Amino acid sequence: MSVSTAPPPAPPRAPKKRRIRDTRDRGVSWSALALLVPAVAVLAVFVGYPLVRMLIFSFQDFSRQNNLFSGKAPNWVGFDQYQKVLTDGQFWALMGRSFALMVVLVVATMTLGMLIALLMNRLGKGMRLLVSVGLLLAWAMPALTSTVIFQWMFDTSYGVVNYVLTTIGLDFDRYAWLSQPLTFFMVVVFLVTWQSVPFVAFTLFAGLTQVPGEVLEAAELDGAGPVQRFRHVIVPFIKPVIAVVLMLQVIWDLRVFTQVYALRQSSAAANTDVIGTYIYRYGVAQGNYSEASAIAVIFALIMLGLAFFYIRSLLRNEDV
């Protein structure tokens, strides 16, 4: 007698994977390109054309006295202007002064911004709102308005700073803060830091809100102190935010112009110049357009290099 055996059941079929359509395979969207045309046109007119003219001036011998007033065509001199700039000791002194000011501003701004962000993270809702309003008021004030206020505060005859310091017994009667390079840049550091701290504080505070509370509690239970928690827990979590803010502050602090130009006095202009004010004073005020254009091109290349590192850090953060 034969025994019939049923065939084994077929294994269950794996569910079909849904194919995700890769949008990168699509063709060029002409409607998107058409929407970009107005923005590109505005940038070409207001940014591209001045950049091209500046580049042309840097290869010419063009000045107000020799060409603009007389109507003579400028001569092409090639890289002579760049050679003149790069072999000028005053240019390297300006670069050193600008970078030294940038380092001081970045350190002061990042340190104070981080401390305020940590404070806001520990405060209650009411006090946090009060601190946020104060930061927003400082951030919303125009740069020129803030500069005029600081100019009055540090005025030689009527400044409140001299009055307070003299009242507490220090010898600051009619002290000229803005006439000496060292004290002038001290005032610039106070002013620019006061204006830049709100952005750093708000951005870092937004990053601190993303740090998991259970991780901080676990580190505290393991015996980690406040400094160790900040160094080994908080900083690794918000490192991408710190990198972006740091790079932005480096770029912005190298471009400081309004505060230095509005605060300085004519008697100390040569000793308180940074790159931006020197380009304006030497090029626009004195009419040495070609040499000033060469300095501007060199400075623009430096800024492009910093912008490259900034964009690369953004792309790295997106890949993480």
| Local confidence band at 198 (pLDDT 50, 70, 90 cut-offs) | very high
**Domain-embedded: residue 225:** yes
Give every CB contact of residue 51 below 8 A, 6+ residues apart in sequence: 300
pLDDT of residue 268: 64
Give the Cα separation of 245 and 108 in Å (integer). 13
Say which CATH number the domain at 95 has: 1.10.3720.10
Instruction: Print the domain residue range for 308.
Output: 89-319
| pTM of the complete model | 0.80
Give every CB contact of residue 188 below 8 A, 6+ residues apart in sequence: 101, 256, 259, 260, 263
pLDDT tens for 227-259 read: 888 888 888 888 888 988 998 899 889 989 988
**Domain-embedded: residue 140:** yes
**Domain-embedded: residue 134:** yes
**Domain-embedded: residue 143:** yes
Per the structure block, which two tokens stand in for 4? 């019939």
pLDDT tens for 54-71 read: 888 888 887 776 666 566
**Domain-embedded: residue 200:** yes
**Domain-embedded: residue 130:** yes
In the three-class reduction of DSSP (H, G, I as helix; E, B as strand; rest coil), residue 73 is classed as coil
In this structure, of 60-64, 70-74, 103-107, 207-211, the range with the lowest mean pLDDT score is: 70-74
The number of domains in the chain is 1
Say if residue 114's pLDDT is above 80: yes
**Domain-embedded: residue 285:** yes
What interhelical angle do 235-254 and 181-208 show, nearest 10? 140
